[in-house]
A and B are shown apart, each in its own frame.
Chain A
Amino acid sequence: MELEQISLTALACAKTYPDGTQGLKPTSLKVEPGEIMALLGPSGCGKTTLLRILAGLETADTGGQVFFGEQEVTARPIEQRRVGMVFQHYALFPHMSVERNIEYGLKVQGVNASARKKTVGELIDLVRLVGLEHKRPAELSGGQKQRVALARAVAAGPRVLLLDEPLTALDSKLKEALRDELAELLRRLGMTAVYVTHDQQEAMAIADRMAVMRAGEIIQVGDPEVLYRQPTHAFVANFLGRVNILRRDLSQTNDGVLVIGASTLHVPTHLGQELLVRPEDIVIGESQPNCMQGVILQRSFRGDHIQLRVRVGEQDPLILDVSRDVVYQQGDTVSVSFSPASFMCAKES
């Protein structure tokens, strides 16, 4: 199947509801051709509203513009935008077989029966539904329904693919397996795609870049690794994973140091007074006299790793993820070290 790759742009798109609440503040976002962009955030953050504006299911407030490639589509309803969309609960047509669901878009376009059959056949192979062509949606498992929904969305050759929490309806174990499968399928299709989710693991596994949203605005856009390791905002750091907060006073900040107990670490001034560090970035070892010391307050076995709570100096206890082979027990004193690069900024803007 030949699919187009175009960019997708939202310019100053906002959404105010009739009752006056602002679901989305003026937001701009550009998705590059062939890129998978995740809109990530807690519920009510405006991510679905932004997706629906891109789709043409909602109209943005006056002044907002949507571009598919070079073409402005702001005034077009969804029927005329040529988008492929995958919905939260699949929204398959319950009275049609798998095959007829997939060919629906082609039929609407007036494509002849033999061309339809060819495309549907290719897609059924691609999403591995061979043998299920004549089943109805009610007879399929969640994962199969999801693949039908994806095949149906791309069958008529849409210009962009929009996915609205496509995995929410599945239980967590299945979700993990399907997440990777979906990531691989989307890569193979190579289409420009926007993927809405509230699950950071899912976003990181699927997206090339993510836009983290909160309260109707985009806080930070970037590739998953950059967002995880160098968040520019405490909310982003917190939303993508667990973090510890370390505090230093103004004079330490101005001197570019962090003093914990007897040790002094070099931490640049611009990171501010509150520093964030991920549990897996803290290393412990055999207690040595000239090292930073910590006392293990709690040790809990988590299967693939051990989580420790460690008191270091005057700071709040730190959470650490360490290998399950670590032998230290509750009450032991250990040496604690941070790599200076692991400190993240905790500013609120």
Chain B
Amino acid sequence: MNTRSPILATLTVSVLLFMITPMVLSITAAFLQQYSRGLSGGLTLEWLGHVFSQYGSTVYASILIATSCVIGNALIGVPCAYALARARGRWARSFEEILTLPVAVPGLATGLALILTYGEWRDFRQSYAFILVGHMVFTLPFMVRTVSAAFQRAEIASIEEAARSLGAGFITRFLTVLVPVVLPSIVAGSLMVFTLSIGEFNLTWLLHTPLTRTLPVGLADSYASMRIEIGSAYTLMFFIVVLPLLWLLNVVAHLVQKRYGT
């Protein structure tokens, strides 16, 4: 390698090692017969098979919840973002500032509040919909903030005025002009919501029941109750399922940016 600055190269390599080593070790552990004996103990696919049979359903649950969360938050969040962007009062500005509050409040506290509110509704409490509601509360601000920033841009305000001058009433211009114009931001917001929902643990941990478990909750369960090799196999499954999905979503987002970007 032809480096001009050996210090920079050393630094880069150390940071990379610092970040990647734990992941590599964890993934390797998933294939070892016995972690304590290392490679000499031999390799196996047993743990992966075990994880797929026992926790496979959590993968679908997580993807389903994350997808519903994106759709729900887009439906609620985009009109909210518009209302917030066009509201001129001082309360609107302060409201925008406290929008990220749910992120600072521990998920456990949010979860507890949700249990207090909906705990009596047994069927709801025991369904995945309950976890979905928690995820939506937690991720809605990310959607609203991202999209609201787009609606506030001067060029988008004047595009809206152009649509008005051509006679378009609110519903018409919202659907035919405003939403398509902020689509790149909606996609960016959706990506964030999806990512947060897939990986969300501490809120979900409080909301889940033995029959409603998501990927991260299952992961915690396997770490707590089974051997470390199984936990590691679970981590690997997380990588196998989630990484391609995120890559795919990123490609889609990039295409949308390219097509609709102003």
User: Residues of A at under 8 Å CB distance from B?
Assistant: 55, 57, 77-80, 82-85, 87-89, 91-95, 104-105, 108-109, 138, 152-153, 156
| Residues of chain A lying within 8 A (CB to CB) of residue B177 | 93
- Minimum CB–CB distance from A148 to chain B (whole Å) comes to 11
Looking at the complex, which one of B163, B164, B176, B180 makes contact with A77 (CB distance below 8 Å)?
Answer: B164
| Residues of chain B lying within 8 A (CB to CB) of residue A105 | 166-167
| Residues of chain B lying within 8 A (CB to CB) of residue A77 | 164
Contact string against A for B residues 238-262, beta-carbon threshold 8 Å, 1 for contact and 0 otherwise: 0000000000000000000001111
Q: A82-B167, A108-B167, A109-B167 are in contact. Are A95 and B161 (CB under 8 A)?
A: no
B161 touches A85 (CB 8 A): yes
Which residue from chain B places its CB closest to the CB of A94 in the assembled complex? B262
Cα A88 to Cα B154 in complex, Å, equals 11
Q: List 16 A-B contacts (CB under 8 A).
A: A55-B165, A57-B161, A78-B164, A78-B165, A79-B164, A80-B167, A84-B165, A85-B162, A91-B161, A94-B261, A94-B262, A95-B260, A108-B166, A138-B262, A153-B165, A153-B166
| Residues of chain A lying within 8 A (CB to CB) of residue B176 | 104
User: Residues of B at under 8 Å CB distance from A?
Assistant: 155, 158-159, 161-169, 172, 176-177, 180-181, 183, 259-262
For the complex of A and B, the 3 pairs showing the least CB-CB separation, nearest first, are: A105-B166, A85-B165, A91-B162
- Minimum CB–CB distance from B176 to chain A (whole Å) comes to 8
- Minimum CB–CB distance from A262 to chain B (whole Å) comes to 61
| Residues of chain A lying within 8 A (CB to CB) of residue B262 | 94, 138
A-B residue pair count with CB separations less than 8 angstroms: 68
| Residues of chain A lying within 8 A (CB to CB) of residue B259 | 95
| Residues of chain B lying within 8 A (CB to CB) of residue A80 | 167
| Residues of chain B lying within 8 A (CB to CB) of residue A138 | 261-262
| Residues of chain B lying within 8 A (CB to CB) of residue A55 | 165
B159 touches A79 (CB 8 A): no
A94 touches B260 (CB 8 A): yes
Cα A255 to Cα B103 in complex, Å, equals 83
Cα A80 to Cα B177 in complex, Å, equals 18
Which residue from chain A places its CB closest to the CB of B159 in the assembled complex? A91
- Minimum CB–CB distance from A93 to chain B (whole Å) comes to 6
B161 touches A79 (CB 8 A): no
Cα A94 to Cα B156 in complex, Å, equals 10
- Minimum CB–CB distance from A146 to chain B (whole Å) comes to 13
A89 touches B181 (CB 8 A): no
A94 touches B181 (CB 8 A): yes
- Minimum CB–CB distance from A48 to chain B (whole Å) comes to 12
A104 touches B183 (CB 8 A): no
Which residue from chain B places its CB closest to the CB of A85 in the assembled complex? B165
Looking at the complex, which one of A79, A83, A85, A152 makes contact with B168 (CB distance below 8 Å)?
Answer: A79
| Residues of chain B lying within 8 A (CB to CB) of residue A94 | 159, 181, 260-262
| Residues of chain A lying within 8 A (CB to CB) of residue B164 | 57, 77-79
Which residue from chain A places its CB closest to the CB of B160 in the assembled complex? A91
| Residues of chain B lying within 8 A (CB to CB) of residue A82 | 167
Q: A82-B167, A105-B167, A108-B167 are in contact. Are A87 and B162 (CB under 8 A)?
A: yes
A104 touches B163 (CB 8 A): yes
B165 touches A95 (CB 8 A): no
Cα A173 to Cα B183 in complex, Å, equals 35
- Minimum CB–CB distance from B17 to chain A (whole Å) comes to 43
